[in-house]
Amino acid sequence: MTSVDDLGAELDLAIRVADAADAVSLPYFVERSFTLSRKDDSSEVTEADRNTESTITSMLLEERPGHGIYGEEHGISGDTESTWTWTIDPIDGTSNFVRGVPVWATLIALVHHDRGPVLGVVSAPAMARRWWGGIGLGAFANGRPIRVSEVDAVNAAQVSVTFNRGWDEAGHTANLVRLQQTAYRARGYGDFWQHMLVAEGAVDVAVDAIGLAPYDNAAVQAVVEAAGGTHTDRFGHRDYTSNSAISTNGRLHSSVIGILGA
C-alpha cells in the first residue's frame, strides 16, 4: 500500500508517466499536427490533450489498479473508493500550445483523501523543463534542488499576476493592480510556470486566474509546498479543489492575501 511517508516509488512512476506523456504531446506541438475543437465551456481542446491523457491513464491503471484517476479530458476512472487519486491535466496551457507558445505542461499529482496533494510532477517538454516534489522528497527542477526565496516584504518582491474575467466578476481586479503597484516588479508568466518560478525562488508571488479546477492546482501545490512555499486559494485556504490559486514563498502570503482582499 502507498504510504504518505514513503512516496519514492510513486515519484518514480510519475516520472516514467511524464516521460511517456512528453513522447505523445511534444510531436504534436513541434509538427503543428492536431485538430482543434471547443468544449462545452468554450475552452480549447486538441487531440494532443486527449491522447496524452489516454497514455497517462493507461499506464496508471496498469501500474496502480488500486488507485483512482481524475483527468481533465476523460474524467474519473480506476478505483473510485481508493484514498489515493492521480489528478491529471494532460496539457496545462492549451491556448499556448495551440498558438505555438512553448509554455505548456503535463501536470501529474498524487492526492491523498486526507492530506491533499502529496506529490507532483510538472513536465514542460517544449521548454525542456521538468519540476517535481512531494512530502519527504524535496523539490527539484531538472534534477537540481530548488527552494523558495527569502524575500519578506511585498515592496521588494517579484510577482506574477494573471488577470481574467473571474477576477473582474469577483470585483477584485483593482486589488490585483494594487499588488502589482506595491511590488518591486510585476510580470504575467501565467499557468503552471508562475508557480514553478515561485518554487525555484525566481518569483516570490504568483496569483492565478479565478476559474481553476483541481487538475490545475494539485501538482503545482505539491511542488510549491515541497520547495518550502505556500499554496492556497484566494481566501488563504489550502484547498486544491478551489477555483483560485496563490503561491508565495510563505513569508509574504498573509500580506498578499490582505492586499487582494478577496
Do residues 118 and 163 both lie within one domain? no
How many Cβ atoms from other residues are within 10 Å of residue 32's Cβ?
Answer: 8
Structural domain count of the chain: 2
**Residues in contact with 116: Cβ distance below 8 Å, sequence separation at least 6, in sequence order:** 218, 221, 238, 239, 240
In terms of domains, do 103 and 194 share one? Answer: no
Q: Which pLDDT tens digit goes with each residue over 145-161?
A: 999 999 999 999 999 99
Same domain, 218 and 241: yes
**Structural domain range at position 27:** 8-143
Q: Name the CA dihedral angle for 219, 222, 228, 229, rounded to a multiple of 10 degrees.
A: 60
218 and 124 within one domain: no
Longest dimension (CA), the chain: 50
pLDDT at 251: 98
Both 128 and 236 in a single domain? no
Residues 12 and 130 in one domain: yes
227 in a domain, yes or no? yes
165 with 225, same domain: the answer is yes
C-alpha cell at 11: 515519484
User: What is the domain-level CATH number for residue 169?
Assistant: 3.40.190.80
Residue 106's nearest CA partner among 84, 79, 85, 129 is 129
Which position has the higher pLDDT, 73 or 8?
A: 8
Question: How many percent of the chain have pLDDT more than 70?
Answer: 95
Do residue 97 and residue 172 come from a single domain?
A: no
- State the pTM of this model: 0.94
Same structural domain, 131 and 166: no
- My answer on whether 138 and 158 are in the same domain is no
Q: Domain holding 83: CATH number? A: 3.30.540.10
pLDDT in tens, 56-80: 999 999 999 999 999 988 889 999 9
